[in-house]
Structure 1
Amino acid sequence: MNAIANALVALVAALHVYFLVLEMFLWTKPLGLKTFRNSPEKAADSAVLAANQGLYNGFLAAGLVWGLFQGTPGFGFQIKTFFLLCVVVAGVYGALTVSRRILYVQAAPAAIALILLWLA
């Protein structure tokens, strides 16, 4: 069970690295425009804000990776729990303020990983 939980934590971290790339580097490119359903004009106007948001997603990913590789299991558990909770809260907030899709793409995988982490 612990291996499955850690695999899901790694998946959530990978998703946040992907979000970082989308928001920091591909925001105004065709993939970014399609993913976030933006017009080129809106994307250009919000590119700096998106890059900032991408950086925060990178911090979430880094925290999850830190938890996965922490040598002290109890501390690693605490780190993973904290960062997964941060992802869930950010996902719920994003779902309430931006798009319901964020609940499924960001918050749900983190919540499932958190539940499995606690069950492991």
Structure 2
Amino acid sequence: MTMIANALLALVAALHIYFLVLEMFLWTKPLGLKTFRLTPEFAQASKALAANQGLYNGFLAAGLLWGLSQGVAGQAVQLFFLGCVVVAGLFGAATVSRKIAFIQALPAALGMAAVLLSA
């Protein structure tokens, strides 16, 4: 179960690194516009906000990777950051798109379950 927990942690961290790149560097580029269904005008106007959002996603990824690097001793850190991701995903699902629950919150919730089962 530890291997599954570690794989899910790594997946969630990788997703948040991807979100960081999308929001900080690709927000006004074709991939960012398509991913977030933005007009070029809105993307340009909200570019600074998106970069800030991307930075927070980077902090989540860093925390997850930090917890992962600690092994069993890092389970409290892992659970904390996975919990943060679940809350962020549920908030995004409630305020932006239900799809966020499946892309962000579900993998983190599965990761939390795997971490708890591996304890």
TM range (shorter): over 0.9
The superposition leaves residues 73-105 of structure 1 with CA deviations (integer Å, 9 ceiling, x where unpaired) of 23x000000000000000000110111111111
Normalising by structure 1, we get a TM-score of 0.96
Aligned residues: 118
Matched residue, 1:96? 94
- Provide the secondary structure at the position in 2 that maps to 1:27: coil
Secondary structure in 1 matching 2:26: coil
Amino acid aligned to 1:18 = Y
What residue number does 2:70 align with?
A: 70
- Secondary structure of 1:28's counterpart equals coil
What is the distance in 1 between the residues matched to 2:99 and 2:26?
19
Matched-pair identity in % = 69
Unpaired runs of 5+ residues, structure 2, are none
> What TM-score results when the alignment is normalised by the length of structure 2?
0.97
Where do 4+ consecutive residues of structure 1 move more than 2 Å?
none
Q: Hey, what does 1:82 align to over in structure 2?
A: 80
Alpha-carbon distance in structure 2 between the residues aligned to 1:70 and 1:116: 16
Q: Where do 5+ consecutive residues of structure 1 fail to align?
A: none
Q: What is the aligned-residue RMSD (CA, Å)?
A: 0.8
